[in-house]
A and B are shown apart, each in its own frame.
Chain A
Amino acid sequence: MRRLLKNRKFAVGMIISIVFLVIALLGPWFVSSVMQVDPRGIDYDAISAPPSPQHLLGTNHVGQDVLAQLIIGARGSVTVGLLSGIIATVIAVLVGTTAGYLGGIPDRAINAVVNVLMTLPGFALLFIIAGYVQEAGILLIAVVIGLLEWPGGARSIRAQTMSLRNRDFTSALRTVGESTPRIIAVEVVPHLGGVISSMFLKAVVAGIFMEASLAFLGLGSTSEITWGTMVSQAQTGGAILRGHWWFFLPPGLAIALIGFATAMINFGLDEITNPQLNARLNARTRQFNREQRRRRALAEAGGPA
């Protein structure tokens, strides 16, 4: 863990993610008790008002406080992201390890399903479902996104499990009489930590993005505030045309920032698990050899004198 936090990329990504989590958890309380603003309340004195001491991030075209919405929206977006990420990861791990470990017919069957799902245009499907189920709540959206996100991860988990299955230590566990579910859950899954964490982070970001895209297209939840619905409102309210950047930039930036944070965590993890020492060592070796040559040349020249 200490090694993880020493990695700057990982630390930065973690800090941003934790900040967002805290906002998602405490945001509603903060807005109502500290800011004492109703995110849906309309300030008729300030419609489409730019940032001011009263409304730190201005108001939107119906006079709602953007900062309050942004904070409230965090909960919706983060929930969708986490929930879809968890669903996708759990399915991917279950399916991937089972297929990879059992092999044979179960593997072929699962692989066929995965291949079909991977060729489906996921977003289009989501679009249709969301349109069909009018008034889809964010939970439903999260579940649907989760169900669409798992095949890619399942495939890489399957590949890793297959190689672990062929290692002697799993064979040794079978021949001491360990049960298959325990071998998978206790002995194999810990080796998949890297793949699982990176797939989870990707799924979280994908969930947030997809929800935002749906909302932008007007298919999101209308009852809840998320960053997606904010951007969507900004668009319908003509904020982009009129250059009212304070409507759409904050939620857009928030989404981008989460994407950035997860990418940083992923890079950090990657650096720690497969250290890219080689480049550095190569450089040090070249430098050492250069200096060595100079030293030797000097000695050669000085020698006969």
Chain B
Amino acid sequence: MSVDRTAPAAPDQADAAGPSVLRAEHVSVVFDGKDNSGRKVEIHACRDVDVDLRRGEIVALVGESGSGKSTLARAFSLVHPPSAGQILLDGEPLGRRTRRRPFYKRVQLIYQDPFASLNSLKSIRHILGRVVKIHTPRLSRRAVEARTLELLELVSLTPAEDYIDRFPSSLSGGQRQRISIARALAVDPDVLLADEPTSMLDVSIRLDVLNLLDEIRRERGVAVLYITHDIASARYISDRMAVMYSGELVETGPTEDVVAHPKHPYTRLLVESAPDPSRRRDGASAEFEETSLGEPADPAQEIAGCRFQARCPFVMARCRREAPPLLTTGDQHARCWLFADDADDTTDTIRATGAHTSKES
């Protein structure tokens, strides 16, 4: 079964992961915000993040609230330009002067809340037809309608004629989310940025929305960024995974490796915390019980050394001194000193036991 996951996206493409389409290079995003007592602070929502989206590939961006995952999506979509670093489309850096319309013909967003992302006063015909019209202005009215029907069929809202004149209020959450996917597909984009596209939907219909995204990337070779807090759904749909914590990328790698053998202690915490009915547990997992009770590091706060140190069960003196870079370990990269080449023997043992524990779980 898992073999079929990594099959080529399209028959004409030998390599599953095609060329890079959209890419973030050293992207940092800083907001002005206020802390609890009303003082002005700088919120570093993203710190020096690199993510590469390739043709026909789904990358999952996993993290908790406040990890900066949605901010990164906004940087990718030029809604909130990066404060440092750059976004590249086909290797060309984007800037302030980038024209929006051609950019959005290539890159599209799918929003979290299907109730808020569609104009409730407009019919499906208007919502989808208008997008078609914006990007192919010379189309006749009949051609726009034909294209709209085609889009509805593409997201399995069939018979399409029954849906085209309805209003969002008469559709269920899952159907609305299909409309927003159809809207994104209306421009025939090369990149889809999906920000928690299923978290507002009923459990029983989430999988089919994910399957739809999977189908789209297979059939059209679209690059997909799937942003989620749900690591199990990320495993289900993605090829590569990037884990964010407190604005930083803490681990990247092939999805299966990251989930089965998480390297960074935070990823391990995330994997262990996720509910998974197929691994019934008796009692709590010992490794994180006491240490991880803390809260995620505040993105506005500067920390000397590793940002995860306060919650990390493997914390070493070095972690409090120096911030770790992304270190390579096998196919994965982890922002953790445990994987430094010059690590001493004790860390080696921890690394070994750590990897061991996670295999068992």
Interface residues of A (CB under 8 A from B): 167-169, 171-178, 187, 190-191
Q: How many of chain B's residues have a CB under 8 angstroms from any CB in A? A: 27
Interface centre among A168, A176, A190 (most CB of B within 10 A): A176
Is B180 in contact with A172, judged by CB distance below 8 angstroms? yes
Known: A168-B111, A169-B117, A187-B122. A175 touches B101 (CB 8 A): no
Is B79 in contact with A175, judged by CB distance below 8 angstroms? yes
Please name all residues of chain B whose beta carbon is closer than 8 Å to the beta carbon of A177 when the two chains form the complex: 100-101, 104-105, 134-135, 187
Docked CA distance A168–B79 (Å): 12
Inter-chain pairs besides A168-B117, A176-B108, 20 sampled, C-beta below 8 Å: A168-B116, A169-B120, A171-B117, A172-B118, A173-B119, A175-B109, A176-B104, A176-B130, A176-B183, A176-B184, A176-B187, A177-B100, A177-B101, A177-B104, A177-B105, A178-B130, A187-B119, A187-B122, A190-B121, A191-B121
Known: A175-B104, A176-B187. A169 touches B134 (CB 8 A): no
Residue B113 interfacial (CB < 8 Å): yes
Is B131 in contact with A176, judged by CB distance below 8 angstroms? yes
Residue of A nearest to B101 (CB): A177
Please name all residues of chain A whose beta carbon is closer than 8 Å to the beta carbon of B111 when the two chains form the complex: 168, 171-172
Within 8 A of A (CB), among B136-193: 180, 183-184, 186-187
Shortest distance between the CB of A18 and any CB in chain B (Å):
27
Please name all residues of chain A whose beta carbon is closer than 8 Å to the beta carbon of B116 when the two chains form the complex: 167-169
Residue of A nearest to B131 (CB): A176
Interchain Cβ contacts under 8 Å between A and B, 13 examples:
A167-B116, A169-B120, A171-B79, A171-B117, A173-B119, A174-B79, A174-B100, A175-B108, A176-B108, A176-B183, A176-B187, A178-B130, A187-B122
Docked CA distance A175–B194 (Å): 13
Docked CA distance A171–B117 (Å): 8
Residue of A nearest to B168 (CB): A169
Please name all residues of chain A whose beta carbon is closer than 8 Å to the beta carbon of B122 when the two chains form the complex: 187
User: Which 3 A-B pairs give the minimum distances between C-beta atoms?
Assistant: A168-B117, A177-B101, A168-B116
Residue B77 interfacial (CB < 8 Å): yes
Is B134 in contact with A176, judged by CB distance below 8 angstroms? yes
Shortest distance between the CB of A239 and any CB in chain B (Å):
52
Grouping DSSP codes into helix (H, G, I), strand (E, B) and loop, the A interface class, with mixed when no group exceeds half, is helix
Residue of A nearest to B78 (CB): A175
Interface residues of B (CB under 8 A from A): 77, 79, 100-101, 104-105, 108-109, 111-113, 116-122, 130-131, 134-135, 180, 183-184, 186-187
Is B186 in contact with A176, judged by CB distance below 8 angstroms? yes
Residue of B nearest to A173 (CB): B119
Shortest distance between the CB of A218 and any CB in chain B (Å):
48
Shortest distance between the CB of A269 and any CB in chain B (Å):
16
Known: A176-B108, A178-B130. A169 touches B119 (CB 8 A): yes
Please name all residues of chain B whose beta carbon is closer than 8 Å to the beta carbon of A168 when the two chains form the complex: 111-113, 116-117
Docked CA distance A177–B187 (Å): 10
Please name all residues of chain B whose beta carbon is closer than 8 Å to the beta carbon of A172 when the two chains form the complex: 109, 111, 117-118, 180, 183
Shortest distance between the CB of B188 and any CB in chain A (Å):
12
Please name all residues of chain B whose beta carbon is closer than 8 Å to the beta carbon of A190 when the two chains form the complex: 121
Docked CA distance A166–B282 (Å): 45
Shortest distance between the CB of A6 and any CB in chain B (Å):
20
Is A178 in contact with B180, judged by CB distance below 8 angstroms? no
Please name all residues of chain A whose beta carbon is closer than 8 Å to the beta carbon of B105 when the two chains form the complex: 177
Residue of B nearest to A166 (CB): B116
Docked CA distance A272–B183 (Å): 32
Shortest distance between the CB of A102 and any CB in chain B (Å):
16
Residue of B nearest to A188 (CB): B119
Shortest distance between the CB of B309 and any CB in chain A (Å):
36
Docked CA distance A276–B183 (Å): 36
Please name all residues of chain A whose beta carbon is closer than 8 Å to the beta carbon of B119 when the two chains form the complex: 169, 173, 187
Residue of A nearest to B74 (CB): A171
Shortest distance between the CB of A79 and any CB in chain B (Å):
32
Docked CA distance A120–B251 (Å): 61
Please name all residues of chain B whose beta carbon is closer than 8 Å to the beta carbon of A176 when the two chains form the complex: 104, 108, 130-131, 134, 183-184, 186-187
Shortest distance between the CB of A185 and any CB in chain B (Å):
13
Docked CA distance A249–B206 (Å): 69
Docked CA distance A191–B116 (Å): 13
Shortest distance between the CB of B179 and any CB in chain A (Å):
11
Please name all residues of chain A whose beta carbon is closer than 8 Å to the beta carbon of B184 when the two chains form the complex: 176
Please name all residues of chain A whose beta carbon is closer than 8 Å to the beta carbon of B187 when the two chains form the complex: 176-177
Shortest distance between the CB of B341 and any CB in chain A (Å):
43
Shortest distance between the CB of A180 and any CB in chain B (Å):
10
Please name all residues of chain B whose beta carbon is closer than 8 Å to the beta carbon of A173 when the two chains form the complex: 119
Shortest distance between the CB of A183 and any CB in chain B (Å):
10
Interface centre among B105, B113, B119 (most CB of A within 10 A): B119
Docked CA distance A175–B79 (Å): 8
Docked CA distance A238–B254 (Å): 95
Shortest distance between the CB of B87 and any CB in chain A (Å):
14
Docked CA distance A171–B79 (Å): 9
Residue of A nearest to B130 (CB): A178
Residue of B nearest to A176 (CB): B131
Residue of A nearest to B193 (CB): A175
Docked CA distance A176–B108 (Å): 7
Shortest distance between the CB of A170 and any CB in chain B (Å):
8
Docked CA distance A187–B77 (Å): 21
Residue of A nearest to B187 (CB): A176
Residue of A nearest to B105 (CB): A177
Docked CA distance A171–B184 (Å): 13
Please name all residues of chain B whose beta carbon is closer than 8 Å to the beta carbon of A174 when the two chains form the complex: 79, 100
Shortest distance between the CB of B151 and any CB in chain A (Å):
13
Residue of A nearest to B115 (CB): A168
Residue of A nearest to B102 (CB): A177
Docked CA distance A173–B121 (Å): 14
Please name all residues of chain B whose beta carbon is closer than 8 Å to the beta carbon of A187 when the two chains form the complex: 119, 122
Please name all residues of chain A whose beta carbon is closer than 8 Å to the beta carbon of B135 when the two chains form the complex: 177
